[in-house]
Amino acid sequence: MWYLAEILLAEPRQTERRAYQCEACNVVFAADSADEAHRKAVTWGRRYAVEPPAALQFVGVSHLTTIGEVLGDGVEICGRFFESADVWDRERSPESLKAVVWEANQDTPLGELLSPAQVAQVKRASGIPTTRGNE
């Protein structure tokens, strides 16, 4: 059986602090049971958290769902129902998708592809100190 795990990492806990920079990694695992998939996800998360530039710590597995027996082209990984305003008015062209933009601009420095807020998030998640002037 295939499983999809959302693995949560966050900046180290600090006293008197509530908001943290986080990363959620969606990773697939082949396993005979949900327990085995969870163990694999925890192992993956702990290993990922110590890879350079390690600034985020492993928090845990925040979501685990089965995909099915077969994983391949066109298999639905997961989905959800939700409510959203102005859904028909948003940009949906291929050129607006991050994966398309990044693949089309592989020689462009990442800082030119990200907004200043996104650059600050990446720096913070990588443990690079930021100040108001260089975000």
Summarised one tens digit per residue, pLDDT across range 35-78 is 999 999 999 999 999 998 878 999 999 999 999 898 889 888 87
Domain boundary assignment for the chain: 1-73, 91-135
Q: Which residue has the higher pLDDT, 5 or 118?
A: 5
Question: Which residue in the block uniquely carries the two structure tokens 């192992």?
Answer: 43
Which tokens go with 36?
């085995």
Do the beta carbons of residue 70 and residue 9 sit within 8 Å? no
Residue type, 76: E
Strands (E), the chain: 2-10, 22-30, 57-68
State the pLDDT at residue 42: 97
SS3 28: strand
Q: What is the pTM of this model?
A: 0.72
Comparing 42 with 92, which gets the higher pLDDT? Answer: 42
* pLDDT digits 0-9 by tens, 9-42: 999 998 988 889 899 999 999 999 999 999 999 9
Length reported for the chain: 135
Residue type, 81: F
Q: Specify the pLDDT at position 131.
A: 65
